[in-house]
Chain A
Amino acid sequence: MARTFEEMTQAVDQIRRFARRYDKPKRREFFENLYLYLSEPLPEDESRKMALETKYLMAVAALTAEIQPASAETYDQVLQRLNAVLLEAKLGDVWISTGPKGGQVAQSADSDGPQLSSNEDDQVPARGYSLRGTLAPRRKLSKAKQALVDRFRVDLPESGRPFGPRSQIRG
């Protein structure tokens, strides 16, 4: 990350002061949490710089996500990526079930093993919602503001292939 220790120190301090002064009900909880986290003292040992960087990154992640959360457009990108992995049938508009949680396994008297029962829940039609339909629409910003948000988001580390094979067991 390109930010200097001094830049991060000042940014964290500035964000903390803003969060402390924020008194509107709209985002009070968000800024209270931010303030509490940024007020935790930094360690005095060699981990000080890393701890400061973590605070800075956390604050940037929180603020930029408040400004532009995942949207229906993000969903489209995710679905495209997921479908690129699938052989044959592709995933359509994703529905999230809020209805019955699934059937029950029951021992049937006239069978040798467990059976899927049709309990009362199973008779209820599944309820659900469209995942895309409930996401926030993409928040459009002016060119200058978008460039500003992007400059901060660049500070957040890229995750590459987070599930690539590796062994973390030592010795």
Chain B
Amino acid sequence: MASSKKPGAGKKATPSSGKPKKPSKTSAAPQSFNDEVALLLQMAAQAPVLTFPQLKSEAKLFELVVLTEILEEFNQIGGNVFLQQPLSGTPNTFAGAPASADKHQFAWFDLRGPSGELHAEAWISVQFQGLSTQLALNHGGTSAAASKASRHELDIALFTPESPAIPRLYPSHAEVMAAVSVKHVAKLQKESVREALGFRREMGFLRRRGDRSYCPWLQERVPCDPPSPLFLASSAPNFSTYTGHIDELGVFTRYMKFPW
């Protein structure tokens, strides 16, 4: 027969053996913690909503944070980084949408070795011509193959230095030395991983054994030809589930706490 008493009713909270109880890892969370979560929720619900331009700028700022981390790593190996201003445009300007590596309009960074030799150029939001374009041209495709549709924007990219004799706006996949797809999100969606795998496909062929990377100071070995590391950098703390398998294809995840 079911008791009419509420569970626990009538029981006295008596010390059972006089032994102090160890705080259990599975014991209920203290009320103070629940109160703090409640307050956090209340504050989030009442905070002003960001406008679209503010959200966009926050994402762009995160790209600068990721770029800074990369440039700091280059400094760590004795390299020097030089800001290059646009040759004729507004100083300190970076592309806000998929663009070309137009040195007249946009700023970029030269990465030079200790003796001054130019290793790479670092750019923001530049599109490259994917491997598919090269294959199409190899198979008799016309220059239409190298159209806007065959280009892909890399949030951050290190390119081989431009040859003065051959000006370029859209570097080829072979000129990409390293690339980063940047996602400032609370939760990394699987579609971002699929997108990175698509970039990887357009950046070269898979090789079974990893070759020494174009940028060993960022990633020692890359199982691709050309061996250009591709990173998926995000502020989402749910990265752990994506490591340990996509790196076999040359996509490396990096978590960055942001905002600080």
Do A114 and B166 touch across chains, with their CB atoms under 8 A apart? Answer: yes
Out of A33, A37, A113, A129, name the residue touching B53 (CB < 8 Å).
Answer: A129
Do B64 and A134 touch across chains, with their CB atoms under 8 A apart? Answer: no
Bitwise, A60-91 to B at CB < 8 A (1) or not (0) is 11111111111100110111011001111111
Once bound together, how far apart are the Cα atoms of A75 and B258, in whole Å?
12
Per the 8 Å Cβ criterion, residues 22-38 of B in contact with A are 25-29, 33-34, 36-38
The verdict on B72 contacting chain A, using a C-beta distance below 8 Å, is: yes
Once bound together, how far apart are the Cα atoms of A149 and B186, in whole Å?
16
Once bound together, how far apart are the Cα atoms of A89 and B82, in whole Å?
7
The verdict on B216 contacting chain A, using a C-beta distance below 8 Å, is: yes
Do A95 and B186 touch across chains, with their CB atoms under 8 A apart? Answer: no
Contacts of B80 in A (CB 8 A): 87
Q: How far is the CB of A111 from chain B (nearest CB, A)?
A: 11
Do A169 and B223 touch across chains, with their CB atoms under 8 A apart? Answer: yes
Do A96 and B94 touch across chains, with their CB atoms under 8 A apart? Answer: yes
Contacts of A60 in B (CB 8 A): 40
Contacts of B141 in A (CB 8 A): none
Do B167 and A115 touch across chains, with their CB atoms under 8 A apart? Answer: yes
Do A145 and B187 touch across chains, with their CB atoms under 8 A apart? Answer: no
Out of A63, A75, A85, A134, name the residue touching B72 (CB < 8 Å).
Answer: A85
Out of A103, A152, A161, name the residue touching B102 (CB < 8 Å).
Answer: A103
In the complex, the chain B residue whose C-beta lies closest to that of A115 is: B167
Contacts of B198 in A (CB 8 A): none
Once bound together, how far apart are the Cα atoms of A90 and B85, in whole Å?
10
Task: Report which B residues bind A (CB closer than 8 A).
Answer: 25-29, 33-34, 36-41, 43-45, 47-50, 53-54, 56-58, 60-62, 64-65, 67-73, 75, 80-83, 85, 89-102, 104-107, 109, 165-170, 186-187, 209-210, 216-223, 231, 233, 235-238, 240-241, 243, 247-248, 252, 254-260
Contacts of B260 in A (CB 8 A): 74, 77
Do B168 and A67 touch across chains, with their CB atoms under 8 A apart? Answer: no
Out of A128, A129, A131, A161, name the residue touching B61 (CB < 8 Å).
Answer: A131
Q: Given A6-B29, A95-B90, A95-B94, does the pair A157, B237 have CB atoms closer than 8 Å?
A: yes
Do A69 and B58 touch across chains, with their CB atoms under 8 A apart? Answer: yes
Give how many A residues have a beta carbon under 8 Å from the other chain's beta carbons.
Answer: 92
The verdict on A42 contacting chain B, using a C-beta distance below 8 Å, is: no
Do B70 and A163 touch across chains, with their CB atoms under 8 A apart? Answer: yes
Provide 16 A-B residue pairs closer than 8 Å at the C-beta atoms, listed in order of the A residue. Answer: A22-B45, A54-B240, A70-B259, A92-B92, A95-B90, A95-B94, A101-B95, A101-B97, A102-B101, A105-B168, A128-B93, A152-B36, A162-B256, A165-B217, A165-B218, A167-B220
Q: How far is the CB of B55 from chain A (nearest CB, A)?
A: 8
Do B61 and A105 touch across chains, with their CB atoms under 8 A apart? Answer: no
Do B68 and A54 touch across chains, with their CB atoms under 8 A apart? Answer: no
Once bound together, how far apart are the Cα atoms of A93 and B231, in whole Å?
27
